[in-house]
Amino acid sequence: MDLNTSLEELSWIPRPRILALRRLALETAGDLLRHYPRRHEDRREFRGFPSEETIGPVCLCGEVAKTRLMRFGGRKIFEAVLEESGAHALSQPLTCRWFNLHYIQKMIATGQQLVVFGRVKRKGPRLLIDHPEFEVIEDDEEILIHFRRITPIYPSTEGLSQRVLRALIFRLLEEVAVAPADVPLPASLSNGEDENALRKIHFPRNNEQLRKVRDHLVLGEFFRMQMQIAAARAENSARVGCRHQSRGLLAEQFIAALPFAFTGAQQRVFNEVKRDLQVATPMNRLLQGDVGSGKTVVAIAAMLLAVESGSQAALMAPTQILAEQHYAVLCNWLDPLGIRIALRTGARQEDNAPLPLFAHLRGSDFNSPGGAEGDSAKNVPAARAAHASGSIGSGSARVSRVGDGVTPSRTFSQTDEAPEARYSRRRLPDFEKPWTIYAVTIGTKKRRCLSPKARAIALDALRYFHTKRYELFAACVMPDHVHFLIQPWPKENDDAGNVVFWSLKELLHLIKSYSAHAINKAERKRGVVWEKERFDRYIRSQPDLIEKFNYILRNPWDSGVAQQNEDYPWVWAQEDDRRKESSFPRDAETNTRDACATRKEEDRSIPHIIVGTHALLYEGVNFTNLGLAVIDEQHKFGVAQRAKLTSREPAPDVLVMTATPIPRTLTMTIYGDLEISTIDEMPRGRGEIITHLLTGDKLGEAIAFLREQLSDERQAYIIYPLIDESEKLEAKAAAKEFEIWQERLRPFRCELLHGRVAPSDKQSIMQRFRSGETKALISTTVIEVGVDIPNATVMLIENAERFGLSQLHQLRGRIGRGAHTSHCWLVSSDKSTETITKLSVLEKTTNGFEIAEADWELRGPGDLLGTAQSGLPELKLGDLRRDAGLMRKARQAALELLENDPGLDSPENQRFRDLIVERQGQTFSHVS
């Protein structure tokens, strides 16, 4: 038996356990051994019960002396009083409490020995732990697995207790011969703990060994990540890009016309970008800078360099409001220079032909409709499969370059075996997860068999919303069920200025109701057509996507619904639509040259700069010659979206911008493959911002201050968080809030702004505020995005505790834009230390980086900015914050390794090749 052995082959694991493990995606021995402990408890010797509160959680062992269940109003509280084993006169009992968890009372009984873990608090005379983690000691032959050792505690798992899981892993470790870590480390990183690392991480001999083996495994994770990043970086520089040769006259004119001079930082960053644009290697640069630091003007100047050299430039923003604002700014500055600018936002792109998912395939054999293969019905399944693997696997120019000598991913070839077995039933997620791709199956009610006509209707329904509300990758309508791959899109005009996505639920409801009626009509039947949908799973990686994609496209043939040589018309992939698309000059390099040469007779209908939202991704037709793509607020886009905009030949230069500063350690992972430019200087003449914390009961002070400022001709924002989700309630809450403030600030003119205000009204409201007619704007967070009114110097944020630090920072960035000192009041009625610690960060600093660090510190690990979205390998053990030092080491080692041996050709480096090949399964934070 080895690590690849399937758990099913191990007869000693009972079937229900196998199923529970599979729900955790643990299929092989190796998977189970790499299900690392979340923490360990030292159960070799328990400490005595404390006599006071403890600062952190402690692990204690005692006997249950009594239990009781109490009711308080609607709440049920279950208590278990523990007594120390060798109790003496001074020892105090310890009470463990659980609120509203009825099942606990069935698990705990008087006389049991219990190990508990939690923080001890004092309440009156009693010492308490609320909701401790606990384990009942059962005195059986397994006791030595669970006690008298440093014991692993696993991530909590539905249907598997700690005890069961621990015993399974223990037994498994007895059966495998060796359990080394799975990532080879270069000598410079290794600390000698590789041998049997997996055994040691579960059941370490002592704390020293635990620490060392953890470091070792964390380094492995980090090293793999950094190898992929380093390789992506190397590869990007090998791509063919465009060399933007221009004298920079347009940019000069633009800069000269600005009413201010560039700050030193802006100038430096502009020079960096300029240098990148001039060389053939494609630029891949991140422009970081706090809100209001002036990134946009730098981006405009950069776009002008590209335009002057004969290319097009694109500016992509995450929301419609922001895109429109950029458009207005650009028109304002660039119309005088004769630059043609176009706007494409979701709302306006309904008629556009969809741009295929995998643009580079254009012109390949498969897509030439006249091709002998494509026409033969016999080859349809084969062609689809080939096409699928080719297209997704090499979804970008980057990957197809790696393709030299690299076989399709292993996952892909494995799917032939038993694809169905791997998808378990899941309930639909209620939450939305940005840019997630879901594999979904919808069955018909009572397995009703759909007629051919009905199948066509179902397929049309799916396609109808494609590129409008979601992206559909592939779909297949079987006689009694439908499989598809779907990626919900943002809803454009949401309330808070943040991107809100269509939820999968909404979308499925839409698809089902859209088709059900038509199907019933076509079949002259009545009643429910569709059964509850099944959400098969998230798509986690590129191979995963390929696998599911293929599975869907081959399903009719694989399942026997269609004969191997028969056509099955109810299967669809994005490429199918694309074949209809007009053929476009493919040689973009020639294009560039032509564009430069014939600049005088250029087509006046072609814009120089296209501004838009994600709708730009479907604007393939309009990019005759994309030379520079600027992506604003890039963290709000998914990886695939960026890739799509930029995976064309020659590779466009890419400038991504973010006003969300991130901790420096994260920069080397999430943005590890980008060059980084930072604008670390605010434009001169900006007034200081003073921030005050205020508890709700002292609101009067702030109001008096506000009135004073308003009589001084200043203006104010009052921000309140939205509490109710429903539209009606929301409008009501907003209106009420508004009335109260109007009263408080009388006679100064106030206006109300929220997401439900019609766009035209919104504009006039903003206009009146800008002109100073309105003195105070009562608003939701819609104003977060891009409002720039220098005379507004006061901001009062109600219920500030409800916002995250970064969002508060962004909001606060709306003031302090003029020369006057600005004031920000953070009002909160929550007096917990947690809230006060959080908010006082803002009191102390206005530096976005410091705020980001603090935010990270306070929130702990977790997904600060979507490492999940970055497409980087998942970290199971490593903690980007705590293990920053290890990350630096791993990065150093990976960069050195690839620098000295870019092809990993030397014999001792062969073993690292897998780390990079696996990258086919990954996508990156950057864009290639």
| Residues at the site binding ligand ADP, with contacts judged by CB under 6 A | 260, 262-263, 266, 289, 291-297, 659, 683, 788
Q: Closest Cα partner for 473 from 379, 398, 548?
A: 548
Least gap, CB of 280 to ligand ADP (angstroms) = 29
Residue with tokens 């498969």: 366
Least gap, CB of 669 to ligand ADP (angstroms) = 24
3-state secondary structure of 315: strand
Residue placing its CB nearer to ligand ADP in the complex, 408 or 683: 683
3-state secondary structure of 273: helix
Q: What is the DSSP letter of 255?
A: H
Residue placing its CB nearer to ligand ADP in the complex, 114 or 316: 316
Q: Which residue is nearest to ligand ADP (CB)?
A: 294
Residue placing its CB nearer to ligand ADP in the complex, 335 or 739: 335
Residue placing its CB nearer to ligand ADP in the complex, 784 or 883: 784
Those residues whose C-beta lies under 8 Å from the C-beta of residue 639, and which sit 6 or more positions away, are: 435, 869, 870, 871, 923, 924, 925
Residue placing its CB nearer to ligand ADP in the complex, 295 or 775: 295
Burial of 164 from C-beta contacts in 10 A (0-12 / 13-18 / 19+): middle
DSSP string, 325-391: HHHHHHHHHHGGGT--EEEE-GGG-TTSPPPPS-GGGTTSGGG-TTSHHHH-GGGHHHHHHHHHHHH
3-state secondary structure of 666: helix
Structure tokens at 410: 């292993």
- Bridge partner list, 675: 285
Q: Closest Cα partner for 298 from 279, 280, 271, 275?
A: 271
Strands 121-123 and 126-130: antiparallel
Structure tokens at 795: 């901001």
Least gap, CB of 790 to ligand ADP (angstroms) = 8
Least gap, CB of 753 to ligand ADP (angstroms) = 19
Least gap, CB of 170 to ligand ADP (angstroms) = 55
Least gap, CB of 658 to ligand ADP (angstroms) = 10
3-state secondary structure of 770: helix
DSSP string, 872-916: PPPPSS--TTTTHHHHHHHHHHHHHHHHH-TT--SGGGGGGHHHH
Residue placing its CB nearer to ligand ADP in the complex, 810 or 925: 810
Residue placing its CB nearer to ligand ADP in the complex, 788 or 908: 788
DSSP string, 612-650: ESGGGGG-GGG-SSEEEEEETTGGGS-HHHHHHHH-SSS
DSSP string, 152-181: EEPPPBTTB-HHHHHHHHHHHHHH-S----
Residue placing its CB nearer to ligand ADP in the complex, 145 or 631: 631
Least gap, CB of 728 to ligand ADP (angstroms) = 34
Least gap, CB of 679 to ligand ADP (angstroms) = 7
Structure tokens at 598: 């014939």
Cβ(86)–Cβ(97) under 8 Å?
Answer: no
Residue placing its CB nearer to ligand ADP in the complex, 203 or 262: 262
Residue with tokens 């099942």: 103
Least gap, CB of 622 to ligand ADP (angstroms) = 25
Residue placing its CB nearer to ligand ADP in the complex, 308 or 632: 632
Residue placing its CB nearer to ligand ADP in the complex, 291 or 656: 291
- Bridge partner list, 779: 719, 753
Least gap, CB of 729 to ligand ADP (angstroms) = 33
Least gap, CB of 494 to ligand ADP (angstroms) = 20
3-state secondary structure of 691: strand
Least gap, CB of 657 to ligand ADP (angstroms) = 7
Residue placing its CB nearer to ligand ADP in the complex, 228 or 288: 288
3-state secondary structure of 450: coil
Residue placing its CB nearer to ligand ADP in the complex, 292 or 356: 292
Distance of CA 420 to the CA centre of its chain: 28
Least gap, CB of 498 to ligand ADP (angstroms) = 16
Residue placing its CB nearer to ligand ADP in the complex, 437 or 657: 657
Least gap, CB of 660 to ligand ADP (angstroms) = 11
Helices (H), ranges, 712-758: 727-745
Least gap, CB of 266 to ligand ADP (angstroms) = 6
Amino acid at 429: P
Residue 580 CA to residue 561 CA, distance in Å, equals 28
Least gap, CB of 332 to ligand ADP (angstroms) = 10
Sign of the alpha-carbon dihedral angle for 168, 171, 177, 178: positive
Those residues whose C-beta lies under 8 Å from the C-beta of residue 914, and which sit 6 or more positions away, are: none
Strands 126-130 and 94-99: parallel
How far apart are the two ends of the chain, measured CA to CA in Å? Answer: 40
Residue placing its CB nearer to ligand ADP in the complex, 220 or 292: 292
Residue placing its CB nearer to ligand ADP in the complex, 294 or 620: 294
